[in-house]
Amino acid sequence: MFDGFESGRISVDATLIDYVAAGSGEPVLMLHGFPQTKAMWARIAPQLVAQGYRVICADLRGYGASDKPVAQADLANYSFRAMAGDQVGLMRALGHDRFHLVGHDRGARVAHRLALDHPAAVASVTLMDIVPTAVLLGDLRPEVAQTYWHWFFLAQPAPFPETMINADPDLFYQTCLFGWGGAGPQDFDAEQLAAYRAAWHDKAAVAGSCNDYRAALAVDLACDLADQGLRISAPALVLYGAQGVMAKLYDLPATWIDRCTSMEAVAVPGGHFFPDSAPAEVAQCLTDFLRRHSISAPG
């Protein structure tokens, strides 16, 4: 799938993080969302490599081929803070103390936390199709709760959601994948979709994703509320699906403007999974943004 990319697993504080990488130039770390893996970047990453970037695509802990540790009682080891620490450790191990950061969905929430906790490491950050966690959970309107029901289902105590999902993982995950913004099987690359389906049948990954959502309610919301008023210092790009659920429920740029020091926003054709359905458009948006915010540029 990632032709010409090297692959590896690096231990960060005893947690193995799986990644693929290729290219030379300024480093770009790309983080996937739910219910996907790093395979979601398979048609975007090569385009960035061709534009002269060193691209690293990693699986979050609990997902894909990365480790899926047993959740601690307080769920802190599945928080966005813990996941951000994994990725900073991965990039340092690969020789990159400063890098561009790109995230979609859960990966974008990890990217937001990483940019706040490790500002010196982040040259730029791209957040795809999310509103801040504190906004979504702090002002939970009925239409949001109905659409984003999975947040609360997955956060139920184990093993209830895991048992329900494992009874028919394809039904559950395809309902998520094809239900947010009107995407259908035809909007996804067949090889990438097969990689997602393979991950859905890993019971440890099912538990990992549930722990991710449990931690959002138990840990991440409190972290974000404690950091209200703290802004991302790096230049930020907010990309969102023009026909997606988030764009229908929120003014996405407005939810981020007060959380960023410098922000641009672009609507991309498609729903929540526009990186899958419109990879060329996403790659162009990223390339244009990264060129304007080179690590080596003065100031």
Give the catalytic positions in this structure: 105, 272
Structure confidence at residue 238 (pLDDT): 98
Query: How confident is the model at residue 298, as a pLDDT?
Result: 47
Instruction: Round to the nearest angstrom and report the end-to-end CA distance of the chain.
Output: 38
CATH code at 263? 3.40.50.1820
Q: Between β-strands 15-22 and 232-241, what pairing exists: parallel, antiparallel or unpaired? A: unpaired
Q: Is residue 51 part of a domain?
A: yes
Residue 1 falls inside a structural domain: no
* pLDDT the model gives residue 296: 78
Does a structural domain hold residue 95? yes
**Within-domain flag for 299:** no
Q: Which two tokens stand for residue 111?
A: 């990217």
Residue 37 lies in a domain: yes
Residue 297 lies in a domain: no
> Taking every pair of C-alpha atoms in the chain, what is the biggest distance, in angstroms?
55
**Sign of the CA dihedral with 240 first, then 241, 245, and 251 last:** positive
- 3-state SS class at 194: helix
28: in domain: yes
Question: What type of residue is 130?
Answer: I
Tokens of 94: 């690969």
How many Å apart are CA 258 and CA 267, to the nearest integer? 19
> Which pLDDT score is estimated for 183?
80
Of 33, 213, 26, 248, the closest CA to residue 128 belongs to: 33
**Domain coverage including residue 269:** 6-292
The stretches in the chain having pLDDT less than 50 are 298-299
Q: Is 269 a domain residue?
A: yes
Structure pTM?
Answer: 0.97
Domain count, the chain: 1
